[in-house]
């Protein structure tokens, strides 16, 4: 079904943009792939919109967005050459770099940490310090890095419980504190019948954790081979995001279409919330027109934090990390 539905769509897109292709990218489009952090949702609206509206094709790119989600590691896939571009959190990317994967940041989309630590008011937990000895739900893998650094900073020892993709463990009282993304679980909690007044919400960002999240990464060698490709890809992605923010309803239609194709339950109002938060997160702290740029001070701060926490031994120069170390070669 999915394929059957996708083919005519792709054909349609191709037909519409045939003229544009020949004008801009010559005879053939460059086939590349992107692996997002998770299965289709509004967190990645820009890419799906750019794909669906033929923006990538206009930039000479034939993009394939790879299946992602549980069991799919973008970092591993990038390392293995399974994807040309992946989305990673800065903290994950630095870890990977430290572990020897020569990846570079070509664009930084989410400018700050959108992670939150949420507890019920009835539990009396108001600060990070209050979490000492409490059962705290953390996601497995790299996503637990920012909260762990926060706990280390406050010298707080929590009882870590690995939490799943649902908020039920927290709702039923299995854990005292849950990790939540502002654009996702936070809203899921509210729409499970919990009022904001019943919750204590600690935003990592407000706790001074400027941990930029979603960024576009590629391997250094990929960038070297075709720097224009990365540039086009980033430009097309940003254009996709701009289109999504100016046409949220259409963007939601597109996202939900891809969610259905991926057999994901699609709750429109939730995706709407997510898209709205993404707009905030991407524009946060930006100089006008500088969307998609990793700020050096943020980079240094995160690198420092990770090194202090002993998660990495060293991190490269900013210019190296963003693939400009050999700018002269261009």
Partner 1 sequence: MPGRNSIVIKLILVITLSSSLIFAVTLGYNYYRSRIILEKELEGNARNLAMSLVNRVETVLTSVTKVTEGVARSLETGRYNEAELLSLIKTTLENNPDIYGSCIAFEPFAFKASSRLYAPYYYREKGKIAFSRLEDSYKFVPYLYWDWYQIPRELNRLEWSEPYFDEGAGNIPMSTCSVPFYAQSGGTKLLKGIVTADISLESLTELVSSVKILKTGYAALLSRNGMVLAHPLKEAVMNETFFSIAEARNDPSLRELGKKMVRGETGFILYKSLVGVRSWMYYAPIRSTGWTLAVVFPESELLANVTRLSITMMLMGLTGILLLTLAVISIARSITKPLRSLAAATHVMASGNFDLELPPVKSNDEVGVLARDFQMMKESLKEYIKNLTETTAAKERIQSELNVATDIQASLLPRLFPAFPDRPEFDIFASMDPAKEVGGDFYDFFFIDQNNLCFLIADVAGKGVPAALYMMVAKTLLKSEGQRLGEPGQILSCVNNILAADNDSCMFATVFCAILDTRNGEVRFANAGHNPPLIMDSGGVRYMTLKSGFVLGPMPDTDYATEHLSMLPGDTLFLYTDGVNEATNFADELFGEPQLLAALQNGPKEELKEIVHNIRTEVTRHANGAPQSDDVTMVAIKYRGKAA
- C-beta of 14 vs 262, nearer to partner 1: 262
Which stretches of the chain bind partner 1, using CB under 8 A?
Answer: 69-71, 135, 140, 161-166, 168-169, 171-175, 190-193, 195, 265-270
What's the CA gap between 184 and 275, in Å, rounded?
10
In angstroms, give the least distance from the CB of 88 to partner 1: 18
In angstroms, give the least distance from the CB of 276 to partner 1: 12
- C-beta of 189 vs 302, nearer to partner 1: 189
In angstroms, give the least distance from the CB of 135 to partner 1: 7
- C-beta of 40 vs 292, nearer to partner 1: 40
In angstroms, give the least distance from the CB of 115 to partner 1: 19
- C-beta of 165 vs 285, nearer to partner 1: 165
* Residue whose token pair is 């992670």: 115
- C-beta of 8 vs 71, nearer to partner 1: 71
In angstroms, give the least distance from the CB of 256 to partner 1: 11
What's the CA gap between 55 and 301, in Å, rounded?
34
- C-beta of 174 vs 285, nearer to partner 1: 174
- C-beta of 59 vs 187, nearer to partner 1: 187
Three-state SS for the chain is CHHHHHHHHHHHHHHHHHHHHHHHCCCCCEEEEEECCCCCCHHHHHHHHHHHCCHHHHCCEEEEECCCCCCCCHHHHHHHCCCCEEEECHHHHHHHHHCCCCEEEEEECCCCCCEEEEEEHHHCCCCCHHHCCCEEEECCHHHHHHHHHHHHHCCCCCEEEECCCCCHHHHCCCCCEEEEECCCHHHHHHCCCCCHHHEEEEECCCCCCCCCCCEEEEEHHHHHHCHHHHHHHHHHHHHHHHHHHHCHHHHHHHHHHHHHHCCCCCCHHHHHHHHHHHHHHHHCCCCCCCCCCCCHHHHHHHHHHHHHCCCCCCCCCHHHHCCCCCHHHC
- C-beta of 161 vs 293, nearer to partner 1: 161
In angstroms, give the least distance from the CB of 65 to partner 1: 19
In angstroms, give the least distance from the CB of 247 to partner 1: 19
Residues 258, 40: contact at Cβ < 8 Å? yes
Find residue 107's DSSP bridge partners: 216
In angstroms, give the least distance from the CB of 217 to partner 1: 22
Residues 6 or more apart whose Cβ sits within 8 Å of residue 324: none
In angstroms, give the least distance from the CB of 146 to partner 1: 20
- C-beta of 120 vs 270, nearer to partner 1: 270
What's the CA gap between 114 and 213, in Å, rounded?
8
* Residue whose token pair is 């935003």: 203
């Amino acid at each position: 079904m999915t394929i059957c539905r996708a083919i005519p769509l792709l054909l349609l897109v191709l037909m519409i943009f045939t003229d544009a292709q020949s004008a801009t990218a010559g005879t053939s489009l460059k086939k590349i792939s992107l692996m997002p952090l998770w299965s289709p949702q509004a967190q990645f609206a820009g890419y799906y919109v750019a794909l669906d509206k033929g923006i990538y094709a206009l930039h000479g790119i034939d993009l394939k967005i790879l299946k992602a989600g549980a069991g799919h590691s973008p970092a591993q896939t990038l390392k293995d050459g399974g994807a040309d571009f992946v989305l990673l959190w800065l903290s994950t990317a630095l870890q990977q770099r430290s572990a020897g994967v020569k990846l570079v940041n070509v664009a930084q989309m989410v400018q700050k940490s959108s992670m939150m630590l949420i507890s019920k008011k009835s539990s009396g937990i108001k600060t990070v310090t209050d979490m000492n000895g409490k059962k705290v739900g953390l996601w497995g893998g790299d996503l637990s890095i920012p909260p762990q650094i926060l706990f280390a900073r406050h010298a707080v020892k929590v009882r870590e419980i690995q939490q799943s993709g649902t908020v039920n463990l927290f709702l039923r009282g299995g854990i005292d504190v849950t990790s939540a993304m502002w654009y996702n679980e936070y809203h899921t909690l509210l729409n499970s019948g919990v009022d904001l007044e019943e919750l204590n919400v600690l935003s990592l960002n407000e706790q001074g954790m400027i941990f930029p999240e979603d960024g576009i990464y590629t391997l250094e060698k990929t960038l070297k081979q075709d720097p224009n490709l990365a540039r086009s890809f980033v430009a097309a992605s940003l254009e996709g995001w701009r289109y999504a923010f100016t046409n949220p309803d259409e963007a939601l239609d597109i996202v939900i279409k891809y969610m259905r194709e991926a057999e994901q339950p699609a709750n429109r109002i939730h995706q709407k919330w997510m898209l709205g938060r993404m707009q905030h997160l991407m524009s946060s702290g930006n100089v006008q027109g500088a969307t998609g740029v990793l700020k050096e001070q943020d980079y240094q701060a995160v690198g420092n934090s990770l090194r202090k926490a002993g998660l990495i031994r060293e991190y490269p120069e900013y210019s190296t990390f963003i693939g400009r170390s050999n700018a002269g070669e261009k």
